[in-house]
Amino acid sequence: MKYLSRSMIAVSALALMAVAAEAKTFVYCSEASPEGFDPAPYTAGGTFDASAHPIYNRLTEFKKGTTEVEPGLAESWEVSEDGTEYTFKLRQGVKWHSSDTFTPTRDFNADDVIFSYDRQGNADNPWHQYTPGITYEYYTSMDMPNLIKSVEKIDDYTVKFTLSQPEAPFLANIAMPFASIVSKEYADALDAAGTREDLNNMPIGTGPFKFVAYQKDAVIRYAKNPDYWGTAPIIDDLVFAITPDSAVRLQKLMAGECHLMPYPAPADLEAIKANPDLTLQEQAGLNVGYLAYNTTVAPFDNPKVRKALNMAINKQAIVDAVFQGAAAPAKNPIPPTMWSYNDAIQDDPYDPEAAKKMLEEAGVKDLSMKIWAMPVQRPYMPNARRTAELMQEDLSKVGVTVEIISYEWGEYLQKSMEAGRDGAVILGWTGDNGDPDNFLSVLLSCASAGEGGANRAFWCNEDFSKLLKDAKVTADPADADQALRRRAGHLQGAGALVHHRAFDPVCADVEQGLRLRDEPAWRFHLRDRRSGRVIRAAAY
Amino acid sequence: MIRFILAKLLYLVPTFLGITIIAFGFVRILPGDPVLLMAGERGVSPERHAELSAQLGYDKSLVLQYFDFLGRLMHGDLGNSLVTKKPVLTEFLALFPATVELGLFAIILATVIGVPVGVLAAIKRGSWFDQISMTTALVGFSMPIFWWGLLLIILFSGILGWTPVSGRISLMFFFPNVTGFMLIDSLLSGQKGAFGSAVSHLILPSVVLATIPLAVIARQTRSAMLEVMGEDYVRTARAKGMPPFRVIGIHALRNAMIPVVTTIGLQIGVLMAGAILTETIFSWPGIGKWMIDSISRRDYPVVQSGLLLIAGLVMLVNLAVDLTYGLINPRIRAT
């Protein structure tokens, strides 16, 4: 590891440029500490940024910045006619990282794939509970235990997955961080040494960067993997400076203490844009924020009433005031970057007069309702209270009285799913695997409308749910696309949700000489998709 | 003195038991549970919820869970974090030196500045110095730490560029963690500039963390001094013609220090509260930030054992204060 004197990074962007060009150390001001370095037991994006993306690879990968799937550790694959058998041809000559305590004796092969899946799905695998209290929530919540019937080794470089039913998004599912491939040989070595927990502390992967050291809540260090099978990294040393407060992250960025920061606060956007040393990059996020009526309770069971309320709410005003413009009103429940997005759909216009009339026609007078405002910030909703207040004001113009309520976060999540809930709920969703089903089934299917689901509108339309199911088992993507377009159209009439935004927070970055975005090996896939903006230094 | 120490130690036992109950109960009284928070927007089916609760042992009655906790505690097992799955003690020990380093600096800063300012304000009662310092102390006491910290960062790191923004040392230095105390480790590393970098990183957070204790100590010193200086023995000493420096330094200050030492001891608790915000702003990897994260995630084992460890330490500090008290004032030993 190379050392640079502090004075050099403290001064100016110009000095920094020289430093960065020489040593190629890249400092990323990350927003959260990783929970661990084994991606399988965790679900947080901040954890994956520190583990799955730099250190590991998966059989399939998302094309950078998209939700399209491309070959990863699997070079190619074949899908059986009925869509239940996937045979993967594995990449040969892929080297595992080495560390002070572990030197691999063999390349990546089929045993590693089988081990990586079996330890999550098979409760009898000795690695299933390698640390007390470990669970595989992503694997479980993507329904993998029911979906994957078996994973078999055909030969050293061929693996066959057998599914219990056809599943259109399967290739996208296995590109997700939880499906990262870990080394069987390393696990065996840890077993022999009696230090199994090091699988989570000192990771060994095949990715573009090797793990070097982690100081809890402070710094993570990585070094370039010189043997990387893909395009070699142009960064030599990658450093994560963990900085939870967004205002402090921005200060660090401006002081030259880091080169890139994600999630600037919406309130800082103007200042960032005005700063000539910083560049802000925007990209639509893979999320949606919404207000969900309880469609099982009068008068919200009447689509006309819902449409009238939707028309009374000024979404653009919310986008401007709460997101400082870093969002867009949504007209579909899925973001526009996602395949199957139906751009032909017309949004309900903002028209309080017409809304008032529609409410009168529906026989609704002196309506009073509750709006739930979540107590936490989320990428899809930086300030729910303020959003609720804006809605309150809009609705008062059409004669609807709104009371704003809130609960502690865990309670909010639980109570908002209780049958017969009183009031409309502000919440949102961030996509997992880039498949539209991951939004539509979760948020609007009948199956998800009960306890343990996430359909907080309780909107259940059997035809629509059937369309969702059919599309999921369709192996032909063209067909699925058609089916999904139909769903989106179908949904429009239902008006169960008011969507407030289609893109996401913001990712900021200053770069001196090194252009992270052009760095082919550092795959911030999810970050790319989730982040709305990136700041980049103009001074190079 | 030994009897005095033993009596004080005996008091610790019921206090400690009380703390285990509070530490255990506190996080469970909060609404929401770790399983729900783990699931987030995604939701969790009632079956899976029950399964996970059972796996974590949260399906048992609270009383049973408490005795489980106490039983493991007796064996020195503080449990594993639900989030990182690592032993609570390991995490605590990794983070604790950072908090101690920061807290120690802050309390030294607060004492070294607070006591002389208080003494001077008392001697020059009613002067401009008294007025200004005490008003400043009041402002300092009421300062929202988060805002204050950010303000200092923007001024000293952003505009002036004198201090680094956050962290414990420049990222360009990389050496093994020996003691966990950055000042010591940076010296041990032998790397040029490392110690200086560690000190420069310590300045702003120490100032921010010291602000409230400094204000309290200055005001307490001033009022204690004023009280003592009105006493007969001080007047007598003065009447005997003793130089003012000796009167104040020996007769007045020594007696005034008793309530001041107590105050400084009590500030340890205040420091812990301040550390939570200070550590978050300055990305300081200590236990304050760790506790806040764990509370918001309902990481029961971390919160209950972490609280216990912190409370235990505060208790020990208070014990030390009591003993110091006994040293300063022999009368207290007798009671």
Pairing of strands A237-242, A25-30: parallel
Q: Provide the angle, in degrees to the nearest 10, between the axes of the packed helices B253-281 and B145-152.
A: 80
Hey, is A237 helix, strand or coil? strand
The per-residue pLDDT for B92 is 92
Question: Average pLDDT, stretch B89-118?
Answer: 92
- The interface predicted TM-score (ipTM) is 0.83
A143 touches chain B (CB under 8 A): no
Helices assigned H by DSSP within B124-193: 128-142, 145-152, 182-189
With a CB-CB cutoff of 8 Å, which residues 207-226 of chain B face chain A? Answer: none
Residues A394/A351, Cβ–Cβ less than 8 Å = no
Using 50, 70 and 90 to split pLDDT, how confident is the model at A20? Answer: very low
Q: Which tokens in the block code for residue A484?
A: 């999904």
Q: Which amino acid belongs to residue B1?
A: M
Instruction: Say how many domains are in chain B.
Output: 1
| CA of A77 vs chain B CAs: smallest distance (Å) | 31
The per-residue pLDDT for A65 is 62
Q: How far apart are the C-alpha atoms of A511 and A20, rounded to whole Å?
A: 9
DSSP conformational letter for B158: I
Mean pLDDT (chain A) is 80
B48 touches chain A (CB under 8 A): yes
Question: Average pLDDT, stretch A167-190?
Answer: 93
In a domain, B277, yes or no: yes
Domain holding B177, by residue range, is 88-290
Encode pLDDT of A361-392 as tens digits: 999 889 999 999 998 888 788 889 999 999 99
CA torsion angle B143 B144 B145 B146 (round to 10): -150
Judged against a pLDDT cut of 90, whether residue B73 lies above it is answered with no
Hey, is A123 helix, strand or coil? coil
Q: Minimal Cα distance from B84: which residue of A? A: A35
Hey, is A309 helix, strand or coil? helix
In a domain, B80, yes or no: no
The per-residue pLDDT for A284 is 66
More confident residue, B47 or A281: B47
- Count the helices and strands in chain A (H runs, E runs): 21, 19
Q: Which residue from B47, B52, B283 is facing A248, i.e. has the nearest CB?
A: B283
Encode pLDDT of A504-535 as tens digits: 333 333 333 333 444 444 433 323 333 333 33
Share of chain A above pLDDT 70, in %: 82
B329 touches chain A (CB under 8 A): no
With a CB-CB cutoff of 8 Å, which residues 131-170 of chain B face chain A? Answer: 150, 153-154, 157-158, 161, 164-168, 170
The per-residue pLDDT for A138 is 84
Contact: B289, A217; criterion CB under 8 Å: yes
With a CB-CB cutoff of 8 Å, which residues 22-41 of chain B face chain A? Answer: 30-33, 36-41
Contact: A141, B42; criterion CB under 8 Å: yes
Question: Average pLDDT, stretch B6-13?
Answer: 83
The per-residue pLDDT for A19 is 41
A428 touches chain B (CB under 8 A): yes
Beta-carbon pairs below 8 A across chains A and B: 167
Distances in Å between the alpha carbon of A245 and those of A34, A58, A138, B146, B150? Answer: 15, 31, 27, 10, 10
State residue A237 phi and psi, 5-degree precision: -120, 130
Q: Which residue from A1, A410, A417 is facing B31, i.e. has the nearest CB?
A: A410
Judged against a pLDDT cut of 90, whether residue B86 lies above it is answered with no
Q: How far apart are the C-alpha atoms of B149 and B143, rounded to whole Å?
A: 10
In a domain, B50, yes or no: no
Encode pLDDT of A420-449 as tens digits: 899 999 988 887 777 888 888 888 888 888
Q: How far apart are the C-alpha atoms of A345 and A390, rounded to whole Å?
A: 25
Chain B hits for A411, Cβ within 8 Å: 31-32
Residues A96/A205, Cβ–Cβ less than 8 Å = yes
Q: How far apart are the C-alpha atoms of A72 and B118, rounded to whole Å?
A: 68
In a domain, B123, yes or no: yes
Judged against a pLDDT cut of 60, whether residue A174 lies above it is answered with yes
Judged against a pLDDT cut of 80, whether residue A175 lies above it is answered with yes
Chain A hits for B43, Cβ within 8 Å: 413, 417, 448, 452-454
In a domain, B55, yes or no: no
Encode pLDDT of B260-276 as tens digits: 888 888 887 788 778 88
pTM of the predicted model as reported, rounded to 2 decimal places: 0.82
More confident residue, A478 or B133: B133
In a domain, B7, yes or no: no
Using 50, 70 and 90 to split pLDDT, how confident is the model at B230? Answer: confident
Contact: A200, B150; criterion CB under 8 Å: no
Mean pLDDT (chain B) is 86
What CATH number did the domain enclosing B98 receive? Answer: 1.10.3720.10
β-strand partners of A86: A79, A161
Question: Average pLDDT, stretch B111-130?
Answer: 90
B282 touches chain A (CB under 8 A): yes
Judged against a pLDDT cut of 70, whether residue A410 lies above it is answered with yes
Using 50, 70 and 90 to split pLDDT, how confident is the model at B293? Answer: confident
DSSP conformational letter for A101: S
With a CB-CB cutoff of 8 Å, which residues 216-235 of chain A face chain B? Answer: 216-219, 221
How many CB atoms lie under 10 A from the CB of residue B152? 20
Encode pLDDT of B27-42 as tens digits: 888 777 788 777 777 7
Long-range contacts, B269-274 (Cβ 8 Å, 24+): B269/B314, B270/B212, B270/B213, B270/B216, B271/B103, B271/B106, B271/B107, B271/B209, B271/B213, B272/B103, B272/B310, B272/B314, B274/B106, B274/B145, B274/B208, B274/B209, B274/B212, B274/B213
Q: How far apart are the C-alpha atoms of B187 and A462, rounded to whole Å?
A: 70
Judged against a pLDDT cut of 60, whether residue A461 lies above it is answered with yes
Using 50, 70 and 90 to split pLDDT, how confident is the model at A111? Answer: very high
Instruction: Among A36-40, A401-405, B79-83, name the one with the lowest average pLDDT.
Output: B79-83
Q: Which residue from A248, A427, A429 is facing B165, i.e. has the nearest CB?
A: A248
Using 50, 70 and 90 to split pLDDT, how confident is the model at A478? Answer: low
DSSP conformational letter for B58: T
The per-residue pLDDT for A519 is 45
Using 50, 70 and 90 to split pLDDT, how confident is the model at A339? Answer: confident
B82 touches chain A (CB under 8 A): yes
Q: Which amino acid belongs to residue B317?
A: V
CA angle (B46, B49, B51) in 5-degree steps = 110
β-strand partners of A155: A158
Q: Provide the angle, in degrees to the nearest 10, between the axes of the packed helices B287-296 and B300-328.
A: 140
Q: Minimal Cα distance from A427: which residue of B? A: B41
Q: Which tokens in the block code for residue B151?
A: 């303000």
In a domain, B40, yes or no: no
The per-residue pLDDT for B289 is 85
Q: Which residue from B167, B193, B280 is facing A218, i.e. has the nearest CB?
A: B167
The per-residue pLDDT for A529 is 31
DSSP A383-440: -HHHHHHHHHHHHHTTT-EEEEE---HHHHHHHTTSTT--SEEEEEEE-SSS-THHHH
| Interface with B, mutate which of A217, A380, A426 (most B CBs under 10 A) | A217
How many CB atoms lie under 10 A from the CB of residue A70? 12
Chain A hits for B157, Cβ within 8 Å: 251, 255
The per-residue pLDDT for A193 is 93
Distances in Å between the alpha carbon of A131 and those of A205, A372, B43, B294, B303? Answer: 19, 38, 24, 19, 20
Chain A hits for B293, Cβ within 8 Å: 33
How many CB atoms lie under 10 A from the CB of residue B142? 9
